[in-house]
């Protein structure tokens, strides 16, 4: 968990920095293929090793490396996380006992949260989303670090 929190802090810093990133909604992928492959493998390894890490690593990679607009990066990240989660779920479904009642409750609450988040994002300017996301990840990273160390 300390490794996880440390990665969160590094990722959050990259989103909080004042460096303006030119995004291009029409052509977000104009960069180095090797960098993208390296980041993809790195994110996959961290996610597999720590069991978490998708969104807080994928979104900065998409925004910083691919110059993708934050709104598109968030949607892309959610798609990637959904696919990864489904693969993990169906890979383990016959090896573990699933509390379907808990799963349905969590799914309902999460769906409500997505609906609320979708409405909120329409009211927040795009320029503010990147630092807001960065500060959120920073706060969660600090919380995890404090919880693990003390």
**Tens digits of residue pLDDT in 101-123:** 999 999 999 999 989 988 887 88
- Beta-carbon contacts of 14 under 8 Å, excluding residues fewer than 6 positions away, are 60, 64, 134
Q: Which two tokens stand for residue 85?
A: 């989660």
Question: Domain for residue 106, yes or no?
Answer: no
Question: Domain for residue 44, yes or no?
Answer: yes
What domain range is 16 assigned to?
2-98+127-149
Question: Domain for residue 107, yes or no?
Answer: no
- Beta-carbon contacts of 142 under 8 Å, excluding residues fewer than 6 positions away, are 5, 9
- d(CA 31, CA 68) in angstroms, rounded, equals 11
Task: Look at residue 79 in the predicted model and tell me its pLDDT.
Answer: 87
Question: Domain for residue 108, yes or no?
Answer: no
pTM over 0.85: no
Within 13 Å of residue 116, how many CA atoms lie on the same side as its CB?
6
């Amino acid at each position: 968990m300390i490794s996880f929190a440390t990665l969160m802090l590094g990722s959050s810093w990259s989103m909080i920095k004042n460096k303006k990133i030119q995004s291009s909604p029409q052509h977000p992928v104009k960069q180095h293929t090797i960098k993208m492959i390296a980041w993809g493998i790195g994110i996959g390894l961290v996610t597999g090793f720590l069991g978490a890490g998708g969104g807080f690593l994928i979104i900065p990679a998409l925004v910083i490396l691919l110059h993708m607009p934050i709104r598109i990066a968030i949607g892309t990240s959610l798609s990637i996380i959904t696919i990864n989660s489904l693969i993990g779920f169906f890979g383990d479904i016959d090896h573990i006992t699933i509390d379907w009642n808990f799963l349905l409750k969590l799914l309902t609450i999460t769906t409500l949260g997505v609906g609320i988040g979708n409405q909120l994002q329409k009211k927040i300017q795009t320029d503010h989303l990147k630092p807001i996301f960065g500060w959120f990840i920073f706060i969660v990273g600090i919380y995890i670090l404090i919880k693990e160390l003390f």
